Chains A and B, each alone.
Chain A
Amino acid sequence: MIYDCIVVGGGHAGIEASHIAAFKNHKTLLVTSNKKNIGDMACNPSIGGTAKGIIVREIDALGGLMGKIADISHFQIKMLNNSKGPAVRSLRAQVDKVTYPKNMINTLENTKNLDIIESMVEDLIIEEQKVKGIILEDGTKILGKTIILTTGTYLKANILIGSENKEGGPHGERRSNLLSDNLKKYGLKIQRLKTGTPQRIKADSIDFTKMQEEKGDDTLWTFSCDNAPSYNPNEQQKCYLIYTNENTHKIILDNLEKSAMYGGYVTGIGPRYCPSIEDKLVRFKDKERHQLFLEPESLYYDEYYLQGFSTSMPRDIQEKMVKTLPGLENALITKYAYAIEYDAIDPLQIKASLESKIIENLFTAGQINGTSGYEEAAGQGLIAGINACLKLEQKEPLILKRNEAYIGVLIDDLVTKGTSEPYRMLTSRAEFRLILRHDNADLRLREYAHNIGSIREEEYLNTKKKKENLKQCEEFLKQQKLKITPDIKKKMSEKNITIPIKTESLYDLLKRPEITMSLLNEFIELPFESVILEEIEIHIKYEGYIKKTYKEVEKMIKLEEKKIPENIDYNEVKNLASEARQKLEKVRPLSIGQASRISGVNPSDIAILCVYLKKEYNKNE
């Protein structure tokens, strides 16, 4: 038997890839080294966060599982940046590390067309640079038309604690010993990356009275636009904020050379955005204290995750370090912090469809592509799954542009700029973030999802209905005028609002910065859901900025439309700087737009390239 799609790895990327392929009626196999670890949250107990929360909504809009399962598995949720502008708001949930994987495994087991087996994949079957199947550790061959590798941190993984260096993946799981060497043999470039995770502390050894509480929102939220909230906001769990102090810093600095990082035991490159605590002290000498958060891991066991304290110090030093922290004087460490090194591929060798440039029908997603984070992995897994299906169906791949989705920004960055450290999504990476908001993910992406058949009909109808409601609401606000009654006049002057001279439509009133939708709601009944009202309000209030963003988008699209012929020989383009020539040769960008985003390719190189294209291929201008 030949599978349509074989997914290697049951992490956040593998789940989405295998689920969507099976959902789209392709015979799919998921291979994982341990079924119980499917959907495991190996690091922080949360899903979402700035930018990442928007990715989760995009995953949901495209038919993925992460948002829907997080909605039924969390015990705290809040909208970050709620007091800032609409473009940067993003949901984050504290997710139960027991419930979430359980719900995921359940969903996958009930997915038609999906087989799950437990084994380690150590090689691929390759014929004429095309992948034909996988080879398991016992030598069993399984044939597949497309293969998606979502191996996470398991390729030749090593766990480091102090000078101790042990082969193996997270939670003492086995690692894949041969796969990355075999990939190298087939022509893929392998790089070594590093990440880490902090300590877990036993709950009843913590004195929470010395800590500052961090609560969830009273407002009800869901990631999925198809879900209704199903939790009681008053039953949410709390997180806690504490700070490091002089004593903590002294212990760390005195023992610096004992850490794996500073002792010279680590070869992988770690991410700048989650440095270990010793890294923070060395790099930011002047800071007197560093913030740490304690986050509950699950309702089913009593451990807290000590966010911000990731380290590669030996265990005895970790004990001392933790005990300097307020409320943790008697802390019992249940799991020590560790660093993990693993093999990843060079993302410059993959296409924007996430298919390998070297081996046909081979797709990769998640940490193997050099990213970090559950959400980044799931987003890529979903796209890899969708594009493997589209390839089977002989259709064009789904490539989201930078103005369409954070997932588009993520993949474009990876395949254009490459990465030498685990890549994390940030709002600042999205130049068009004002139109890539959490509230419009469904409006941006569901049409695509519908066309490629990655969502259910009723999910598509939800979005269609939302669009109709938006239209009706806009019409309503334009028609409805606000009569300034003495009562309204009084309320307005109490709030220091200039009273409108003539009767104006609600729509026009909303253009004034001081008049908000919630204020109008006090004066007049607005018969629409809050998501609809919010969406419209953003559009009225920030119309100028949104228009400006679209103008920038147009500029980008113009450059994207300047295609570079696939067979271009960069040696023929005279006078390119040699670094630019090498980079262009490596990335082989599809358009001038993409070329201009490659680091090391300067504006003058782009000018030269444009002149060359104009001369050689007249139609390109």
Chain B
Amino acid sequence: MENTIAAISTNNIGVGAINIIRISGSEAINIVSKIFSNKKFIDAPSHTIHYGFIKEKENIIDEVLVMLMRAPKTYTKEDVVEINCHGGYATTNKILELLLTNGATLAEPGEFTKKAFLNGRINLLEAESISDMLNAKTNLQSEMALSGLTGKTTKKIENLREKMVSLLANIEVNIDYPEYIDELQITKENISPILMEIKRELEKIVEESKNGQIIKNGIKVAIIGSPNVGKSSLLNTLLEEEKAIVTNIKGTTRDTVEGSINYKGILLHFIDTAGIRETNDVVEKIGVEKSRKAIDMADVIILVLNNNESLEKEEQMLLKQIEEKKGIIFINKIDLEEKIESFTTTCKIIKGSTLKNIGIDTLKETILNNCEIKDLSNKDLTYLSSTRQISLAKEALQNIEYVIEQNKKDIPVDMLAIDIKIAWENLGKIIGKFYEEELVDNIFSKFCLGK
């Protein structure tokens, strides 16, 4: 029997007015009816909404609307039930727990989409795009996911594959019909510009995919510095201003505070590590270790210094450390007397005050600049975003770079075809299309040969 899976489908549980729990599988309707007060529900027609209460024995847990969608016209092609319950972490979790105790299994991340894929509802690229969209937190993100769905990415890659297959077909024709000298003969010289063009386009795809990853995952910004420099107030200023959500994430480090804002369509994810304490050597080591970790994890580091104090030993050390990464130095409290010594750094320095809200916008802009993100909102969003897709595109690029290298070494063109074909296959894997016959079909549609 197939698993019946359940999970909370809405993001940021506890924030919105309602939350949705989704259940999929052959037992979905049975399981829900066990905890749902509305008795008509179990035999109701597909694609209908039902009002009632979720109950644990006789206790009412929540007042809900339940959507019933019978197979096969559902996202997973299985029976799907969605429970619209009221916001609130505890209530939502309680309902999920009830479903699990009544026979559902907790869905793994992406399992609904996996089912949709395995059940033939969607193809691989769509699966990836949907999972991106489900995870989307900003408009740019969902736009990017959508463009995957509507086939923009597919189109771009297909065009490039078309170019490659034409080249391959031409090489094959030269091999299989060596005496047909009227056909264009691919040589060391004339293949070179074609390869360069393919390379450029692949580079573009790979380069843009970096933006894709940033749009998808946001930018991780670590705020480090000593405790008394105004680090926390910087975080609060950054978050408050955007009316963002602050979450206390349990279980990581007790002192770590995180929060995200949507700035110009990009998710900026701030992590405020607990400061470095100077009491004794052991703790100091732990502290340095901790900020070292934050530096490793983050895309961008903000080192906060106090204008009103002279530099401590640890701060001088941190100044060096952040030079390796994309560091930004924020000198806080410029409204107070300047006691900080001058220092040399390759990092960008911003002077400001969290109290007076000076320099905050410059700081945000600098974060984007550091990640080489210009204005993304006007761009044609045709990025690859999943790691699988990006690594395939990178592989294809490497294949072509290798071909260019080998061509310089006088390797025969028919051997070069081996790696061009591998690159072509790699691109085919991105869009879930890999069909040998394509090449042969192409040969006969483009060239005119034979007895």
Residues 557-574 of A, flagged 1 when their CB comes within 8 A of B and 0 if not, give: 000000000000000001
Q: Contacts A577-B120, A607-B118 known; A291 to B180 CB distance under 8 Å?
A: yes
Our pick among A284, A576, A605 for the contact of B448 (Cβ within 8 Å) is A284
Bound CA span A417–B438, Å: 13
- Determine whether the beta carbon of B414 is less than 8 Å from that of A88: yes
Q: Contacts A426-B176, A428-B172 known; A545 to B432 CB distance under 8 Å?
A: no
- Determine whether the beta carbon of A310 is less than 8 Å from that of B451: yes
Residues 433-451 of B, flagged 1 when their CB comes within 8 A of A and 0 if not, give: 1111101100110001111
B281 located at the interface, meaning its Cβ lies under 8 Å from any Cβ of chain A in the complex? no
**How near does chain A come to B432, taking the closest CB pair, in angstroms?**
6
- Determine whether the beta carbon of B449 is less than 8 Å from that of A542: no
Bound CA span A51–B178, Å: 12
Our pick among A241, A275, A549, A605 for the contact of B418 (Cβ within 8 Å) is A549
A513 located at the interface, meaning its Cβ lies under 8 Å from any Cβ of chain B in the complex? yes
Q: Contacts A51-B176, A85-B415 known; A428 to B432 CB distance under 8 Å?
A: no
Q: Which residues of A contact B172 (CB under 8 A)?
A: 426-428
Residues 523-559 of A, flagged 1 when their CB comes within 8 A of B and 0 if not, give: 0000000000000000000100100110000000000
Our pick among B119, B176, B436 for the contact of A427 (Cβ within 8 Å) is B176
Q: Which residues of A contact B179 (CB under 8 A)?
A: 80, 214, 241, 291, 293
Q: Which of A51, A271, A599, A603 has the most CB of B within 10 A?
A: A603
- Determine whether the beta carbon of B118 is less than 8 Å from that of A608: yes
A-B contact count (CB 8 A): 111
Q: Which residues of B contact A428 (CB under 8 A)?
A: 172, 175-176, 439-440, 443
Bound CA span A575–B71, Å: 12
Q: Which residues of A contact B120 (CB under 8 A)?
A: 575-577, 604-605, 608
Our pick among A198, A273, A574 for the contact of B444 (Cβ within 8 Å) is A273
Closest to B182 in A: A291
Bound CA span A241–B439, Å: 29
B196 located at the interface, meaning its Cβ lies under 8 Å from any Cβ of chain A in the complex? no
Bound CA span A148–B414, Å: 38
Q: Which residues of B contact A287 (CB under 8 A)?
A: 182, 448
Q: Contacts A283-B448, A291-B181 known; A604 to B410 CB distance under 8 Å?
A: no
Closest to A241 in B: B179
Interface residues of chain A: helix, strand, loop or mixed (majority) = loop
Q: Which residues of B contact A307 (CB under 8 A)?
A: 451
Q: Contacts A513-B411, A604-B432 known; A84 to B175 CB distance under 8 Å?
A: yes
- Determine whether the beta carbon of A80 is less than 8 Å from that of B180: no
A: interface residue count bin? 35 or more
Residues 575-600 of A, flagged 1 when their CB comes within 8 A of B and 0 if not, give: 11100000000000000000001010
Bound CA span A287–B172, Å: 20
Bound CA span A597–B435, Å: 8
Closest to A605 in B: B120
Q: Which residues of A contact B448 (CB under 8 A)?
A: 275, 280, 283-284, 287, 290
- Determine whether the beta carbon of B440 is less than 8 Å from that of A429: yes
**How near does chain A come to B166, taking the closest CB pair, in angstroms?**
13
Q: Which residues of B contact A289 (CB under 8 A)?
A: 182
Q: Contacts A85-B412, A426-B172 known; A545 to B451 CB distance under 8 Å?
A: no
B window 408-434: CB within 8 A of A: 409-415, 418, 432-434
A611 located at the interface, meaning its Cβ lies under 8 Å from any Cβ of chain B in the complex? yes
Closest to B181 in A: A291
Q: Which residues of B contact A50 (CB under 8 A)?
A: 175-178
Bound CA span A434–B180, Å: 23
Q: Which residues of B contact A198 (CB under 8 A)?
A: 451
Bound CA span A605–B119, Å: 9
A87 located at the interface, meaning its Cβ lies under 8 Å from any Cβ of chain B in the complex? yes
Q: Which residues of B contact A80 (CB under 8 A)?
A: 178-179
Bound CA span A85–B309, Å: 72
A165 located at the interface, meaning its Cβ lies under 8 Å from any Cβ of chain B in the complex? no
B window 364-404: CB within 8 A of A: none
A36 located at the interface, meaning its Cβ lies under 8 Å from any Cβ of chain B in the complex? no
- Determine whether the beta carbon of B415 is less than 8 Å from that of A434: yes
- Determine whether the beta carbon of A545 is less than 8 Å from that of B415: yes
A366 located at the interface, meaning its Cβ lies under 8 Å from any Cβ of chain B in the complex? no
Q: Which residues of A contact B182 (CB under 8 A)?
A: 287, 289-291
A475 located at the interface, meaning its Cβ lies under 8 Å from any Cβ of chain B in the complex? no
Bound CA span A198–B177, Å: 18
Bound CA span A8–B174, Å: 38
- Determine whether the beta carbon of A273 is less than 8 Å from that of B450: yes
Q: Which residues of A contact B180 (CB under 8 A)?
A: 291
Q: Which of B77, B119, B180, B418 has the most CB of A within 10 A?
A: B418
A320 located at the interface, meaning its Cβ lies under 8 Å from any Cβ of chain B in the complex? no
| Chain B residues near A (Cβ < 8 Å) | 77, 117-120, 123-124, 172, 174-182, 409-415, 418, 432-437, 439-440, 443-444, 448-451
- 16 additional A-B residue pairs with CB within 8 Å, beyond A274-B450, A603-B433: A44-B451, A80-B179, A81-B175, A87-B415, A275-B448, A280-B448, A289-B182, A290-B448, A291-B181, A426-B440, A427-B175, A427-B176, A434-B415, A542-B415, A575-B77, A603-B124
> Can you pick out 16 interface pairs between chain A and chain B where the beta carbons lie within 8 Å of each other?
A84-B174, A196-B451, A241-B179, A273-B444, A289-B182, A291-B180, A291-B182, A307-B451, A308-B450, A308-B451, A417-B437, A426-B440, A513-B409, A604-B123, A604-B432, A608-B118
Q: Which 3 A-B pairs have the closest CB atoms?
A: A85-B412, A274-B450, A428-B172
